[in-house]
Amino acid sequence: MRKYFGTDGVRGRANEAPMTADFALKLGQAIGRKIADSTPYPRQIVIGKDTRLSCYMFEFALASGICSQGVDAVLVGALPTPAIAFMTRSIRAAAGTVISASHNPYYDNGIKFFDASGYKLPDEVELELEQMIDTGVSSSMDRVGKATRIETAVGRYIEFAKSTFSTNLDLKGLKIVVDCANGATYKVAPLAIEELGADVIVINDKPNGTNINDNCGSTYPQTMARMVVGTGADIGISFDGDGDRLIVCDSEGNIVDGDFIMGVCAIDMKKRMKLANDTIVGTVMSNQGFINSLKKQGIDVKRAQVGDRYVLEMMKARKLNLGGEQSGHLIFSDYNTTGDGLISALQLLKVMVWQQKPLNELTKSIETYPQLLVNMEVAKKIPLEELTKTTKLIKDTEAELSGDGRVLVRYSGTENKLRVMLEGQDSNLIECEAHKIAECAKSEIDALLTSPVSHTRYERGGNS
Protein backbone atom coordinates (compact mmCIF):
# COMPACT_ATOMS: atom_id res chain seq x y z
CA MET A 1 0.00 0.00 0.00
CA ARG A 2 1.34 3.43 -0.96
CA LYS A 3 2.17 5.83 1.85
CA TYR A 4 2.41 9.24 0.18
CA PHE A 5 0.92 8.89 -3.31
CA GLY A 6 -2.83 8.93 -3.82
CA THR A 7 -4.84 8.52 -7.01
CA ASP A 8 -3.27 11.67 -8.50
CA GLY A 9 0.19 12.10 -7.01
CA VAL A 10 1.10 13.43 -3.57
CA ARG A 11 -1.32 16.04 -2.28
CA GLY A 12 -2.00 18.01 0.89
CA ARG A 13 -1.99 21.43 2.49
CA ALA A 14 1.12 23.43 1.65
CA ASN A 15 3.72 23.56 4.46
CA GLU A 16 2.03 20.67 6.23
CA ALA A 17 3.25 17.07 5.89
CA PRO A 18 3.67 15.66 3.38
CA MET A 19 3.55 18.82 1.26
CA THR A 20 6.64 20.52 2.69
CA ALA A 21 9.72 21.87 0.93
CA ASP A 22 11.82 19.23 2.69
CA PHE A 23 9.63 16.44 1.36
CA ALA A 24 9.71 17.94 -2.16
CA LEU A 25 13.51 17.92 -2.00
CA LYS A 26 13.49 14.24 -1.05
CA LEU A 27 10.96 13.47 -3.76
CA GLY A 28 13.17 15.27 -6.27
CA GLN A 29 16.15 13.21 -5.12
CA ALA A 30 14.16 9.99 -5.46
CA ILE A 31 12.90 10.67 -9.01
CA GLY A 32 16.36 12.01 -9.90
CA ARG A 33 18.07 8.84 -8.72
CA LYS A 34 15.47 6.66 -10.45
CA ILE A 35 16.13 8.47 -13.75
CA ALA A 36 19.92 8.56 -13.27
CA ASP A 37 20.06 4.81 -12.70
CA SER A 38 17.78 3.87 -15.60
CA THR A 39 18.21 6.47 -18.34
CA PRO A 40 21.16 7.20 -20.65
CA TYR A 41 22.30 10.78 -21.26
CA PRO A 42 20.90 13.35 -21.73
CA ARG A 43 18.85 13.06 -18.53
CA GLN A 44 16.20 15.73 -18.14
CA ILE A 45 13.06 16.15 -16.06
CA VAL A 46 10.50 18.82 -16.98
CA ILE A 47 9.02 20.79 -14.07
CA GLY A 48 5.76 22.70 -14.55
CA LYS A 49 3.30 24.26 -12.13
CA ASP A 50 0.03 26.09 -11.75
CA THR A 51 -0.39 29.56 -10.23
CA ARG A 52 -0.45 28.80 -6.49
CA LEU A 53 1.88 30.87 -4.34
CA SER A 54 3.38 27.73 -2.80
CA CYS A 55 4.46 26.43 -6.22
CA TYR A 56 7.65 28.51 -6.04
CA MET A 57 9.07 26.69 -3.03
CA PHE A 58 8.16 23.26 -4.40
CA GLU A 59 9.54 24.12 -7.84
CA PHE A 60 12.99 25.00 -6.50
CA ALA A 61 13.03 22.19 -3.92
CA LEU A 62 12.23 19.61 -6.60
CA ALA A 63 14.82 21.10 -8.96
CA SER A 64 17.46 20.95 -6.21
CA GLY A 65 16.72 17.31 -5.47
CA ILE A 66 16.77 16.38 -9.15
CA CYS A 67 20.04 18.22 -9.82
CA SER A 68 21.67 16.57 -6.78
CA GLN A 69 21.42 13.25 -8.63
CA GLY A 70 23.14 14.39 -11.81
CA VAL A 71 19.89 14.99 -13.72
CA ASP A 72 18.96 18.30 -15.37
CA ALA A 73 15.80 20.13 -14.30
CA VAL A 74 13.96 21.92 -17.12
CA LEU A 75 11.60 24.63 -15.81
CA VAL A 76 8.67 25.68 -18.00
CA GLY A 77 6.73 27.84 -15.51
CA ALA A 78 2.96 28.00 -15.16
CA LEU A 79 1.39 25.70 -17.74
CA PRO A 80 -1.56 23.28 -17.76
CA THR A 81 -0.88 19.73 -16.60
CA PRO A 82 -1.42 18.31 -20.13
CA ALA A 83 1.14 20.81 -21.45
CA ILE A 84 3.74 19.19 -19.19
CA ALA A 85 2.91 15.79 -20.67
CA PHE A 86 3.33 17.32 -24.13
CA MET A 87 6.60 19.12 -23.30
CA THR A 88 8.05 15.96 -21.76
CA ARG A 89 7.49 14.15 -25.05
CA SER A 90 8.48 17.15 -27.16
CA ILE A 91 11.98 17.63 -25.71
CA ARG A 92 12.38 13.87 -25.16
CA ALA A 93 12.84 14.26 -21.42
CA ALA A 94 13.03 11.23 -19.16
CA ALA A 95 10.09 12.41 -17.02
CA GLY A 96 7.82 15.34 -16.25
CA THR A 97 6.66 16.81 -12.95
CA VAL A 98 3.55 18.89 -12.27
CA ILE A 99 3.14 20.98 -9.12
CA SER A 100 -0.60 21.48 -8.68
CA ALA A 101 -3.62 20.56 -6.60
CA SER A 102 -5.93 20.78 -9.61
CA HIS A 103 -9.37 22.12 -8.59
CA ASN A 104 -8.52 22.45 -4.88
CA PRO A 105 -8.15 25.83 -3.07
CA TYR A 106 -4.86 27.73 -3.20
CA TYR A 107 -3.66 26.52 0.21
CA ASP A 108 -3.48 22.93 -1.07
CA ASN A 109 -0.80 21.69 -3.43
CA GLY A 110 0.44 18.47 -4.96
CA ILE A 111 3.17 16.83 -7.02
CA LYS A 112 2.65 14.25 -9.75
CA PHE A 113 4.84 12.73 -12.44
CA PHE A 114 4.68 11.71 -16.07
CA ASP A 115 6.99 9.17 -17.68
CA ALA A 116 8.93 9.84 -20.90
CA SER A 117 5.85 9.03 -23.00
CA GLY A 118 3.65 11.49 -21.11
CA TYR A 119 1.72 8.90 -19.09
CA LYS A 120 1.26 9.01 -15.33
CA LEU A 121 3.59 6.73 -13.40
CA PRO A 122 2.30 3.24 -12.55
CA ASP A 123 1.61 2.36 -8.91
CA GLU A 124 4.71 0.19 -8.58
CA VAL A 125 7.04 3.05 -9.58
CA GLU A 126 5.36 5.42 -7.12
CA LEU A 127 5.83 2.76 -4.42
CA GLU A 128 9.53 2.52 -5.32
CA LEU A 129 9.88 6.30 -4.99
CA GLU A 130 8.25 6.17 -1.57
CA GLN A 131 10.73 3.55 -0.41
CA MET A 132 13.63 5.68 -1.63
CA ILE A 133 12.27 8.70 0.27
CA ASP A 134 12.02 6.70 3.50
CA THR A 135 15.47 5.11 3.21
CA GLY A 136 17.20 8.22 1.91
CA VAL A 137 19.10 8.93 -1.29
CA SER A 138 22.83 9.70 -1.23
CA SER A 139 24.50 12.40 -3.33
CA SER A 140 28.06 12.85 -4.61
CA MET A 141 30.21 15.44 -6.40
CA ASP A 142 30.27 13.41 -9.60
CA ARG A 143 26.47 13.57 -9.82
CA VAL A 144 25.43 17.20 -10.25
CA GLY A 145 22.90 18.42 -12.81
CA LYS A 146 21.88 21.90 -13.92
CA ALA A 147 18.60 23.80 -14.08
CA THR A 148 17.48 25.56 -17.27
CA ARG A 149 14.30 27.33 -18.33
CA ILE A 150 12.37 27.02 -21.62
CA GLU A 151 10.89 30.44 -22.36
CA THR A 152 9.06 29.22 -25.48
CA ALA A 153 6.95 26.56 -23.72
CA VAL A 154 3.73 28.64 -23.83
CA GLY A 155 3.96 29.19 -27.58
CA ARG A 156 4.90 25.58 -28.27
CA TYR A 157 1.88 24.25 -26.40
CA ILE A 158 -0.47 26.73 -28.07
CA GLU A 159 0.69 25.58 -31.50
CA PHE A 160 0.32 21.94 -30.45
CA ALA A 161 -3.25 22.53 -29.23
CA LYS A 162 -4.19 24.43 -32.40
CA SER A 163 -2.83 21.57 -34.52
CA THR A 164 -5.68 19.36 -33.20
CA PHE A 165 -8.21 21.71 -34.85
CA SER A 166 -8.76 21.09 -38.56
CA THR A 167 -6.69 23.41 -40.75
CA ASN A 168 -9.64 24.05 -43.09
CA LEU A 169 -11.84 25.33 -40.24
CA ASP A 170 -11.78 28.37 -37.98
CA LEU A 171 -13.82 29.91 -35.18
CA LYS A 172 -14.73 33.15 -36.93
CA GLY A 173 -18.20 34.35 -36.03
CA LEU A 174 -18.26 32.64 -32.63
CA LYS A 175 -18.29 34.64 -29.41
CA ILE A 176 -16.76 32.56 -26.61
CA VAL A 177 -16.43 33.23 -22.89
CA VAL A 178 -13.26 31.64 -21.48
CA ASP A 179 -12.95 31.17 -17.70
CA CYS A 180 -9.33 30.41 -16.78
CA ALA A 181 -9.98 29.87 -13.03
CA ASN A 182 -7.01 32.18 -12.33
CA GLY A 183 -4.97 29.07 -13.01
CA ALA A 184 -2.54 27.51 -15.42
CA THR A 185 -4.57 28.18 -18.60
CA TYR A 186 -4.59 31.96 -18.11
CA LYS A 187 -2.15 32.53 -20.99
CA VAL A 188 -2.54 29.58 -23.34
CA ALA A 189 -6.32 29.12 -23.60
CA PRO A 190 -7.38 32.67 -24.58
CA LEU A 191 -4.51 32.98 -27.08
CA ALA A 192 -5.16 29.61 -28.75
CA ILE A 193 -8.89 30.22 -29.16
CA GLU A 194 -8.40 33.82 -30.28
CA GLU A 195 -5.78 32.81 -32.86
CA LEU A 196 -8.33 30.43 -34.37
CA GLY A 197 -10.56 33.42 -35.07
CA ALA A 198 -13.07 33.57 -32.21
CA ASP A 199 -14.23 36.70 -30.42
CA VAL A 200 -12.97 35.85 -26.93
CA ILE A 201 -14.22 37.28 -23.64
CA VAL A 202 -11.75 36.24 -20.94
CA ILE A 203 -12.57 36.08 -17.23
CA ASN A 204 -10.52 35.01 -14.21
CA ASP A 205 -7.17 35.34 -15.98
CA LYS A 206 -5.42 37.44 -13.31
CA PRO A 207 -3.79 34.93 -10.93
CA ASN A 208 -2.29 36.40 -7.76
CA GLY A 209 -1.21 33.18 -6.04
CA THR A 210 -4.30 32.84 -3.84
CA ASN A 211 -7.31 33.30 -6.15
CA ILE A 212 -6.95 30.05 -8.13
CA ASN A 213 -10.32 28.22 -8.27
CA ASP A 214 -11.82 30.88 -5.99
CA ASN A 215 -15.51 30.97 -7.01
CA CYS A 216 -14.48 30.49 -10.61
CA GLY A 217 -13.45 27.84 -13.11
CA SER A 218 -14.94 24.42 -13.73
CA THR A 219 -16.00 23.90 -10.11
CA TYR A 220 -18.03 27.16 -10.19
CA PRO A 221 -19.35 27.26 -13.78
CA GLN A 222 -22.22 29.57 -12.81
CA THR A 223 -19.78 32.50 -13.08
CA MET A 224 -19.09 31.62 -16.70
CA ALA A 225 -22.78 30.95 -17.44
CA ARG A 226 -23.85 34.39 -16.20
CA MET A 227 -21.23 36.04 -18.41
CA VAL A 228 -22.38 34.05 -21.45
CA VAL A 229 -26.00 35.12 -21.00
CA GLY A 230 -25.01 38.71 -20.20
CA THR A 231 -22.82 39.11 -23.30
CA GLY A 232 -24.87 37.04 -25.75
CA ALA A 233 -22.00 34.63 -26.30
CA ASP A 234 -22.42 31.37 -28.21
CA ILE A 235 -20.70 29.19 -25.62
CA GLY A 236 -18.79 29.37 -22.36
CA ILE A 237 -15.64 27.36 -21.65
CA SER A 238 -14.42 26.84 -18.11
CA PHE A 239 -11.18 25.18 -16.95
CA ASP A 240 -9.96 24.10 -13.53
CA GLY A 241 -6.77 25.34 -11.88
CA ASP A 242 -4.37 23.04 -13.71
CA GLY A 243 -6.25 22.95 -17.01
CA ASP A 244 -6.99 19.24 -17.30
CA ARG A 245 -10.75 19.62 -16.81
CA LEU A 246 -13.40 21.26 -18.97
CA ILE A 247 -16.98 22.27 -18.18
CA VAL A 248 -18.97 24.36 -20.67
CA CYS A 249 -22.34 26.05 -20.99
CA ASP A 250 -24.56 26.73 -23.99
CA SER A 251 -25.81 30.12 -25.16
CA GLU A 252 -28.71 29.97 -22.69
CA GLY A 253 -26.39 29.40 -19.72
CA ASN A 254 -27.20 25.70 -19.28
CA ILE A 255 -24.23 23.86 -17.75
CA VAL A 256 -22.85 21.02 -19.90
CA ASP A 257 -20.70 18.51 -18.01
CA GLY A 258 -18.09 16.00 -19.15
CA ASP A 259 -20.62 13.28 -20.01
CA PHE A 260 -22.45 15.58 -22.43
CA ILE A 261 -19.23 16.92 -23.98
CA MET A 262 -17.94 13.39 -24.48
CA GLY A 263 -21.28 12.24 -25.86
CA VAL A 264 -21.48 15.03 -28.44
CA CYS A 265 -17.92 14.35 -29.59
CA ALA A 266 -18.41 10.57 -29.61
CA ILE A 267 -21.50 10.78 -31.82
CA ASP A 268 -19.68 13.04 -34.26
CA MET A 269 -16.56 10.85 -34.27
CA LYS A 270 -18.68 7.78 -35.01
CA LYS A 271 -20.34 9.53 -37.95
CA ARG A 272 -16.89 10.34 -39.31
CA MET A 273 -15.63 6.81 -38.58
CA LYS A 274 -13.04 8.22 -36.16
CA LEU A 275 -14.32 6.50 -32.99
CA ALA A 276 -12.25 3.40 -32.25
CA ASN A 277 -14.42 0.28 -31.99
CA ASP A 278 -17.49 2.53 -31.62
CA THR A 279 -16.79 2.48 -27.88
CA ILE A 280 -15.83 5.04 -25.23
CA VAL A 281 -14.81 4.77 -21.57
CA GLY A 282 -16.76 6.49 -18.81
CA THR A 283 -16.67 5.81 -15.08
CA VAL A 284 -18.93 4.34 -12.42
CA MET A 285 -20.25 7.91 -12.04
CA SER A 286 -21.44 8.08 -15.66
CA ASN A 287 -25.18 8.65 -15.83
CA GLN A 288 -27.23 5.65 -16.95
CA GLY A 289 -29.37 7.89 -19.14
CA PHE A 290 -26.22 9.09 -20.90
CA ILE A 291 -25.17 5.47 -21.49
CA ASN A 292 -28.61 4.54 -22.85
CA SER A 293 -28.60 7.58 -25.16
CA LEU A 294 -25.26 6.61 -26.70
CA LYS A 295 -26.41 3.00 -27.04
CA LYS A 296 -29.21 4.25 -29.30
CA GLN A 297 -26.51 5.84 -31.45
CA GLY A 298 -24.63 2.53 -31.71
CA ILE A 299 -21.96 3.54 -29.18
CA ASP A 300 -20.96 1.32 -26.27
CA VAL A 301 -19.82 2.83 -22.96
CA LYS A 302 -17.45 0.94 -20.66
CA ARG A 303 -17.24 1.97 -17.01
CA ALA A 304 -13.87 2.38 -15.25
CA GLN A 305 -13.08 3.40 -11.68
CA VAL A 306 -13.23 7.13 -10.95
CA GLY A 307 -9.94 8.79 -11.87
CA ASP A 308 -8.52 9.68 -15.27
CA ARG A 309 -5.61 7.24 -14.80
CA TYR A 310 -8.11 4.36 -14.59
CA VAL A 311 -10.04 5.67 -17.59
CA LEU A 312 -6.81 5.79 -19.57
CA GLU A 313 -5.79 2.29 -18.46
CA MET A 314 -9.05 0.89 -19.83
CA MET A 315 -8.72 2.93 -23.02
CA LYS A 316 -5.23 1.54 -23.63
CA ALA A 317 -6.27 -2.02 -22.80
CA ARG A 318 -9.21 -1.89 -25.22
CA LYS A 319 -7.46 0.28 -27.85
CA LEU A 320 -10.00 3.11 -27.57
CA ASN A 321 -9.43 6.79 -28.30
CA LEU A 322 -12.03 8.63 -26.20
CA GLY A 323 -12.81 8.46 -22.51
CA GLY A 324 -13.55 10.70 -19.58
CA GLU A 325 -15.49 11.70 -16.51
CA GLN A 326 -18.48 13.84 -15.65
CA SER A 327 -16.08 16.20 -13.87
CA GLY A 328 -14.61 17.20 -17.23
CA HIS A 329 -11.46 15.07 -17.35
CA LEU A 330 -11.66 14.10 -21.03
CA ILE A 331 -8.98 12.14 -22.85
CA PHE A 332 -8.73 12.39 -26.62
CA SER A 333 -5.82 9.97 -26.93
CA ASP A 334 -5.32 10.70 -30.63
CA TYR A 335 -3.85 13.99 -29.41
CA ASN A 336 -2.63 13.74 -25.80
CA THR A 337 -1.89 11.18 -23.12
CA THR A 338 -3.91 12.74 -20.32
CA GLY A 339 -6.98 14.89 -19.70
CA ASP A 340 -6.57 18.17 -21.61
CA GLY A 341 -9.14 20.91 -21.11
CA LEU A 342 -8.02 23.08 -24.03
CA ILE A 343 -7.85 20.24 -26.54
CA SER A 344 -11.23 18.97 -25.33
CA ALA A 345 -12.69 22.44 -25.86
CA LEU A 346 -11.28 22.61 -29.37
CA GLN A 347 -12.76 19.20 -30.25
CA LEU A 348 -16.20 20.32 -29.07
CA LEU A 349 -15.92 23.62 -30.95
CA LYS A 350 -14.85 21.66 -34.03
CA VAL A 351 -18.12 19.68 -33.89
CA MET A 352 -20.14 22.91 -33.62
CA VAL A 353 -18.35 24.39 -36.63
CA TRP A 354 -18.51 21.21 -38.73
CA GLN A 355 -22.21 20.68 -38.11
CA GLN A 356 -23.09 24.38 -38.00
CA LYS A 357 -25.22 23.78 -34.93
CA PRO A 358 -25.35 25.50 -31.52
CA LEU A 359 -24.43 23.46 -28.48
CA ASN A 360 -27.97 23.22 -27.11
CA GLU A 361 -29.05 21.50 -30.34
CA LEU A 362 -26.12 19.06 -30.29
CA THR A 363 -26.91 17.97 -26.72
CA LYS A 364 -30.59 17.18 -27.46
CA SER A 365 -29.73 13.60 -28.43
CA ILE A 366 -28.34 12.91 -24.95
CA GLU A 367 -30.66 12.37 -22.00
CA THR A 368 -29.74 11.91 -18.36
CA TYR A 369 -31.56 10.65 -15.29
CA PRO A 370 -31.77 12.88 -12.21
CA GLN A 371 -28.49 12.47 -10.33
CA LEU A 372 -27.23 14.02 -7.11
CA LEU A 373 -23.73 14.04 -5.67
CA VAL A 374 -23.22 14.94 -2.00
CA ASN A 375 -19.69 15.63 -0.75
CA MET A 376 -19.30 15.22 3.00
CA GLU A 377 -16.07 16.12 4.80
CA VAL A 378 -14.94 13.37 7.18
CA ALA A 379 -12.24 13.24 9.82
CA LYS A 380 -10.86 9.92 8.59
CA LYS A 381 -11.50 7.51 5.73
CA ILE A 382 -12.68 4.47 7.71
CA PRO A 383 -13.40 1.54 5.35
CA LEU A 384 -17.05 1.60 4.33
CA GLU A 385 -17.58 -2.06 5.22
CA GLU A 386 -16.91 -1.11 8.87
CA LEU A 387 -19.73 1.45 8.83
CA THR A 388 -22.49 -1.07 9.52
CA LYS A 389 -25.37 1.40 9.88
CA THR A 390 -24.36 3.18 6.68
CA THR A 391 -24.00 -0.01 4.64
CA LYS A 392 -27.45 -1.14 5.81
CA LEU A 393 -28.94 2.22 4.83
CA ILE A 394 -27.31 1.94 1.39
CA LYS A 395 -28.85 -1.51 0.86
CA ASP A 396 -32.27 -0.28 2.02
CA THR A 397 -32.04 2.68 -0.38
CA GLU A 398 -31.11 0.42 -3.28
CA ALA A 399 -34.12 -1.74 -2.50
CA GLU A 400 -36.36 1.34 -2.40
CA LEU A 401 -35.12 2.41 -5.83
CA SER A 402 -36.20 -1.04 -7.06
CA GLY A 403 -33.69 -1.27 -9.88
CA ASP A 404 -34.81 2.15 -11.16
CA GLY A 405 -31.65 3.91 -9.98
CA ARG A 406 -28.18 3.55 -8.49
CA VAL A 407 -26.33 4.27 -5.26
CA LEU A 408 -22.56 4.82 -5.32
CA VAL A 409 -20.67 5.68 -2.13
CA ARG A 410 -16.90 6.15 -2.15
CA TYR A 411 -14.14 8.25 -0.65
CA SER A 412 -12.35 10.95 -2.63
CA GLY A 413 -8.89 9.89 -3.75
CA THR A 414 -7.42 13.35 -3.05
CA GLU A 415 -9.37 14.80 -0.11
CA ASN A 416 -10.88 13.66 3.20
CA LYS A 417 -14.35 13.60 1.72
CA LEU A 418 -17.06 10.98 1.34
CA ARG A 419 -18.88 11.16 -1.99
CA VAL A 420 -22.47 9.89 -2.09
CA MET A 421 -24.06 9.65 -5.54
CA LEU A 422 -27.69 8.71 -6.14
CA GLU A 423 -29.36 8.37 -9.50
CA GLY A 424 -33.00 7.66 -10.24
CA GLN A 425 -36.27 8.80 -11.74
CA ASP A 426 -37.57 10.49 -8.57
CA SER A 427 -35.43 13.59 -7.88
CA ASN A 428 -37.05 14.25 -4.49
CA LEU A 429 -36.31 10.70 -3.34
CA ILE A 430 -32.66 10.71 -4.40
CA GLU A 431 -32.03 14.10 -2.76
CA CYS A 432 -33.52 12.95 0.52
CA GLU A 433 -31.70 9.61 0.56
CA ALA A 434 -28.33 11.01 -0.55
CA HIS A 435 -28.19 13.45 2.35
CA LYS A 436 -29.45 10.79 4.74
CA ILE A 437 -26.62 8.40 3.75
CA ALA A 438 -23.97 11.13 3.97
CA GLU A 439 -25.11 12.26 7.43
CA CYS A 440 -25.32 8.67 8.65
CA ALA A 441 -21.77 7.95 7.49
CA LYS A 442 -20.34 11.10 9.09
CA SER A 443 -22.12 10.39 12.36
CA GLU A 444 -20.86 6.79 12.38
CA ILE A 445 -17.28 7.82 11.59
CA ASP A 446 -17.30 10.47 14.33
CA ALA A 447 -18.66 7.94 16.82
CA LEU A 448 -15.96 5.39 15.95
CA LEU A 449 -13.19 7.95 16.26
CA THR A 450 -14.36 9.14 19.68
CA SER A 451 -14.78 5.61 21.05
CA PRO A 452 -11.73 4.85 23.30
CA VAL A 453 -11.04 1.44 21.72
CA SER A 454 -11.65 2.53 18.15
CA HIS A 455 -9.73 5.78 18.64
CA THR A 456 -6.58 3.89 19.58
CA ARG A 457 -7.03 1.47 16.72
CA TYR A 458 -7.46 4.11 14.01
CA GLU A 459 -4.74 6.38 15.37
CA ARG A 460 -2.38 3.42 14.93
CA GLY A 461 -3.52 3.20 11.34
CA GLY A 462 -5.11 -0.22 11.67
CA ASN A 463 -7.66 -0.05 8.87
CA SER A 464 -7.48 3.55 7.71
The CA distance from 116 to 8, in Å, is 17
Q: Which of 177, 190, 183 is nearest to 240 (CA)?
A: 183
Angle between helices 21-38 and 55-67 (to 10 degrees): 40
Candidates 54, 64, 100, 102; catalytic one:
102
Give the C-alpha separation, 464 to 453, whole Å: 15
- Mode of pairing for the β-strands spanning 417-424 and 371-377: antiparallel
427 is catalytic: no
Helices then strands, counting H and E runs in the chain, come out as: 15, 18
What's the CA gap between 252 and 234, in Å, rounded? 8
Q: Is 241 exposed, middle or buried (0-12, 13-18, 19+ CB in 10 A)?
A: buried
* Residue 206 φ/ψ region, left for φ over 0, alpha for ψ in the -120 to 50 degree band, beta for the rest: beta
Q: What are phi and psi of 144, to 5 degrees?
A: -135, 125
Catalytically active residues are 102
